[in-house]
Structure formats: C-alpha cells, structure tokens
A and B are shown apart, each in its own frame.
Chain A
C-alpha cells in the first residue's frame, strides 16, 4: 500500500503546453510538499501546504500553481511549460507537531519525471 503516490510517473510534452501532476498520501499527515530535483540531484523545495493552507512558497515562477483540495492531496499545475522545467518533481508529506522537536521526516513519493521538448 503506497504511502505517497504521484501520477503520472513519466510525462513528456512540448514547450508551451500545460500539465498537471497529482499527489495523494494515505499516512494521515497534515503537511504536504512539492520538491524539484534537477539533473544534478539537487532537491529544492517549491511549496508546502499544512491542512490545505500554503505555508511555504519559494521563489517559483507564477506558471507553477499548487492546489490542495484536502490535506491528503496536493496537485501541481504548470502552465506554458519551458525547457528548464524538465526535472523530477517529488511530492512529500510529514506530520508537524507543536509538541517538542520534530524529526523533520519527510515521506517522498517516487517522483514524476517531466521532460519538456
């Protein structure tokens, strides 16, 4: 039973198209994230939602728009795709607590490999 699942796993598309990646977690976590991993394996946070509220919004082009319909889902829509958007996009979830230090443990999906031609 997959804890964090993302679809699609692979996406090949033309420049200028619009595409979406979906993510669902069944861990009961309250926080979800989108990370981008480039070809050099550098993992950079893009967005984070806590109970459907946006809490982290890094410097990301407006063409990227996250949507969280409920705390178990976080989708990523990308408009007007560019060559530089080619990367692996990882969804992750965690449980944040106000009581004591957090482990900071993120549970990652298997990634969605986006190739823009």
Chain B
C-alpha cells in the first residue's frame, strides 16, 4: 500500500463546476499538507499549503485537512479551462522530504 493514495482520474468537468480532489494517507506523522498543480510539460508549482488540520481558502481554491480520517481535499469553485492540469497532493512530517500522491488529471471543458 502506498503512503499516499490519490485517484489518477482523468476527471472531466464542465466550466463553472465545483471540483473536489482528494487524497488519503497512512502515515500519522504527516503534518504539512500541500497541493501542487502541474501543467503539461511543466514542473509542479505549489498551489495551497496547510499545516495540521483545518481549512484554508485562497480565491477559488479551498484546501481541507482531516487528520483524524487521514484525508485531505482540494475544492475548486467556478472551474475554468485554465484549471486543466494534473493536481498532486504532497505531505511531510519534516519539511525536508515530501511524499507525493500520484496526481489527478483534471480537464475542464467549455
């Protein structure tokens, strides 16, 4: 069993839809949780960061962490075609080593 599980998709939604992306993990030592976005042929870039449990909102993006269930989510409101990318969750116990999920490929259609 992988330390971090993420549905690879692809996930296809119409423009304007609310998108929910999720990861589960098994290592209870994880306390830093991140979402990276990776466009095709580019490197991943940090989208959201959360420390321990709770919610964090940034514009159309909301990250949620539920440590009791070992479950994290990223919600995208009013999705746009420019949101089409692969979304990777990442987490760590110490910030020097991140463990990534396999990524979910999202396609937002017009």
Do A106 and B98 form a contact, CB below 8 Å, given A4-B43, A41-B105?
yes
Are A108 and B43 CB-contacts (below 8 A) given A44-B100, A94-B95, A96-B95? yes
- Does B103 lie within 8 Å of A111, measured CB to CB? no
Name B32's closest neighbour in chain A (CB-CB): A104
**Closest residue of B by beta carbon distance from A102:** B95
**A102 to B88 alpha-carbon distance, docked (Å):** 19
Interface size on B, residues (CB 8 A): 26
Which of B32, B102, B103 is the one whose CB lies under 8 Å from A101?
A: B32
Cα distance A48–B99 in the bound complex, in angstroms: 13
Q: Which residues of A (46-104) have their CB < 8 Å from a CB of B?
A: 48, 50, 55-56, 90, 92, 94, 96, 101-104
Inter-chain pairs besides A41-B103, A108-B43, 6 sampled, C-beta below 8 Å:
A43-B100, A45-B97, A45-B98, A56-B96, A110-B43, A111-B42
Q: List residues of B whose CB falls within 8 A of some A CB.
A: 8, 31-32, 34, 38, 41-46, 49, 51, 86, 88, 90, 92, 95-100, 102-103, 105
Sampled A-B contacts (23; CB under 8 Å): A4-B43, A42-B102, A42-B103, A43-B44, A43-B88, A43-B100, A45-B97, A45-B99, A48-B96, A50-B96, A55-B96, A94-B95, A96-B96, A101-B31, A103-B32, A104-B98, A105-B34, A106-B46, A108-B43, A108-B45, A109-B43, A110-B42, A111-B43
Closest 7 CB pairs of A and B: A108-B43, A102-B95, A104-B95, A41-B103, A43-B100, A104-B32, A105-B46
